[in-house]
A and B are shown apart, each in its own frame.
Chain A
Amino acid sequence: MAIAVALLLAPHLVYPLFLINILCFILFASALNLVLGYAGLLSLGHAAFFGGAAYVTAHAAKVWEMPFEVAVLLGTAFAGLLGLVFGLIGIRRYGIYFAMITLALAQMIYFLAVQMPFTGGEDGIQAVPRGTFLGIVDLNDIAAMYYVVLGATVAGILFLWRTLHSPFGHILAAIRENEPRAISLGLDVARYKLIAFVLSATLSGLAGSLKVIAFQLASLSNVSWHLSGEVVLMTLIGGMGTFVGPIIGSAFVVTLEHMLATSGLPISLVVGVIFMGCVMLFRRGVYGETRARLKAIVERDRA
């Protein structure tokens, strides 16, 4: 309840675009967590979905003059399709190979974005029109934009929650914990992983589409490998495979980057060092580690 009130009041207290940025990354990191944390697939190419959707949405809204909803849907659908292609190519390879394949495929998308005429190369697609929501609400009102993004993010998160607590979610957990066993139970492991991957790509695309409309700019930084790395960091720092982890992680990293942007310190140096520290010191992430410690305390008290 308190959270809901805080979320609704937030744009009047804090710079709304900053909040929108956080919301988009919460959705993005949570979507990545579906494959990284729950299916055990490390994707280093998720920027392709986020950025690819951003380009498609920007193009649809600006050049094709599509309404907001259609542009976002097109971008999201494109990301899902791209996810299907990536998944079909890579899903049968394990662990590090999967990571390298997704990274390489995403880099291919990056090079395509550099070269193809419609993406605007180094300039990107600028001045993307925001349009209206359902033809009524003018999204140039930044608070309205915030509420629309908030609604979409909450819907995406609820969808993920529902997915993870469905039989499908439990099958994913089974595959992550013991894949040979899942296979011997007769589960079509590759297909389940593929479905998870496509869902994750689709929601990442939704995040990218929303961000591009709110910020009115699609650029190469949205498809670069740095972004793929950053979103992995957000998930890792919060806690992979926990539902709350990516939400905390992305809020933290976006806020940090926001502060660093004005401090003159190099962002990627700081992000890189945090990454290293995270892997060395708390691999379960802030939330995962706290939860594990609390659990240990509770169990000790019980004993």
Chain B
Amino acid sequence: MPEIFGVPVVVLLGQILLGLINGSFYAVLSLGLAIIFGMLNIINFAHGALYMMGAFVTWLCLSQLGLNYWAALVVVPLVVGAFGIVIERLFLRHLYRIDHLYSLLFTFGLALALEGLFRYIFGAAGKPYPVPQELTGVFKLGFMILPIYRAWVIVAAVTVCVAVWLVIEKTKLGAWLRAATENPSLVTAFGINVPLMLTLTYGFCVGLAGFAGVLAAPIYQVSPGMGSNLIIIVFAVVVIGGLGSIGGAILTGLGLGVIEGLTKVFYPSASTIVVFLVMVLVLLLRPSGLFGKEN
């Protein structure tokens, strides 16, 4: 059996694939964070809590309403996105003009409150969610066995990321968005409703977090703490990639997932902290992040 550094290639490839799955979640969430930061100038700490909410709504859809996974894939992002729009309209928009720190603190409070609320209602224990029937089973790749659902997560996440990137970089809508980031008052003068655009952007990105929650439900246990654990890693990802570039956020997310997977092979006990170590290294060598511009 072929080996690299004394590790069978099979094990290595398996961990890289597992890493890509984690990386898919990092990518979808950090993409949302980067767009929200670019457009609204806020750091959405609640992103992880909204991802958790997405997973819970998915679980509720099945257990309470009998809506299956595929329906949830459509319904949940809409529900979470709508929730985000309400939050933006009621609260966040009043915070745009003051120090960024306040919107960070507000969303921090929101994350705490959501986590507390779900823990209060559903308890701290994880809820199992079955893999949808169409995606059960495995691919036998010869070198490894890949559960179909996991392959689907990677494909779905990467497709969504690339689609969002294309919309922002290549379409007229994306051009408006980018223009409004640079100079909102000028874009308003062209007759574009910038406040509405901001609301929809927030709703969309939060919907993306909800979408990630749906993807996560069958893999990870659906539990109130799942969001906060993830979001802090995603913050490190964002610091590593820099908030300047959307493509950068996607690549950094996937890349760090793979690095994490590889660490699991070579030095398992460091796998939970490797992302943070990379962050420290990047900060020391390239303080504005790999793709970032210093503000």
Contact = CB atoms under 8 A, between A and B. Distances in A.
A8 interface: no
Interface stretch (B60-68, B166-174, B180-188, B272-280): B272-280
B235 A95 contact: no
Contacts of A279: 95, 102-103, 105-106, 109
Given A107-B232, A229-B108, A275-B106, A269 B239 contact: no
Given A92-B287, A271-B116, A279-B105, A104 B43 contact: no
Contacts of B43: 96, 99-100
A229 B277 CA distance: 23
A267 B238 CA distance: 30
Q: Which of A103, A107, A280 has the most CB of B within 10 A?
A: A107
Nearest to A283: B102
A291 interface: no
A161 interface: no
A89 B240 CA distance: 13
Contact of A272 (B110, B284, B295): B110
Contacts of B106: 275-276, 279-280
A236 B284 CA distance: 31
Nearest to A268: B116
B100 interface: yes
Contact of B119 (A92, A266, A283): A266
A80 to B, nearest CB: 19
Nearest to B103: A279
Contacts of B238: 100
Contact of A229 (B101, B112, B236): B112
A124 interface: no
Contact of B272 (A97, A111, A226): A111
A283 to B, nearest CB: 6
Given A105-B280, A111-B273, A268 B108 contact: no
Contacts of B260: none
Contacts of B152: none
Interface in B95-126: 95, 98-106, 108-117, 119-120
Q: Is the interface of B mostly helix, strand, loop or mixed?
A: helix
A108 interface: yes
A273 B283 contact: no
A144 B275 CA distance: 45
Q: Is the interface of A mostly helix, strand, loop or mixed?
A: helix
B276 A268 contact: no
A232 B94 CA distance: 21
A102 to B, nearest CB: 10
Contacts of B269: 115
B228 interface: yes
B269 to A, nearest CB: 6
A63 interface: no
A232 B116 contact: no
Interface residues of A, number: 44
A92 B99 CA distance: 18
A231 interface: no
Contacts of A261: none
A99 to B, nearest CB: 6
Interface residues of B, number: 44
A267 B115 CA distance: 10
A101 B283 contact: yes
A90 interface: yes
Nearest to B111: A272
A274 interface: yes
A225 interface: yes
Contact of A104 (B113, B116, B228, B235): B235
B105 A236 contact: yes
Contact of A89 (B91, B99, B101, B283): B283
Interface in A92-133: 92-97, 99-101, 103-105, 107-108, 111-112, 114-115
A256 interface: no
Contacts of A278: 109
Contact of B295 (A94, A108, A283): A94
30 contacts: A44-B108, A96-B104, A97-B239, A99-B104, A100-B43, A101-B283, A104-B235, A104-B236, A105-B276, A108-B276, A229-B108, A229-B109, A236-B105, A266-B120, A268-B112, A268-B113, A269-B112, A269-B117, A269-B120, A270-B116, A271-B109, A271-B116, A272-B110, A272-B112, A272-B113, A274-B109, A275-B106, A275-B112, A276-B106, A279-B95
Interface of B: 43, 91, 94-95, 98-106, 108-117, 119-120, 228, 232-233, 235-236, 238-239, 269, 272-273, 275-277, 279-280, 283-284, 287, 295
Interface of A: 42, 44, 89-90, 92-97, 99-101, 103-105, 107-108, 111-112, 114-115, 225-226, 229, 232-233, 236, 265-276, 278-280, 283
Given A96-B101, A268-B115, A275-B108, 19 more contacts: A89-B280, A89-B284, A92-B287, A95-B101, A96-B104, A99-B43, A104-B236, A104-B239, A104-B275, A104-B276, A107-B236, A225-B232, A265-B120, A269-B116, A271-B113, A272-B110, A275-B109, A279-B106, A280-B94
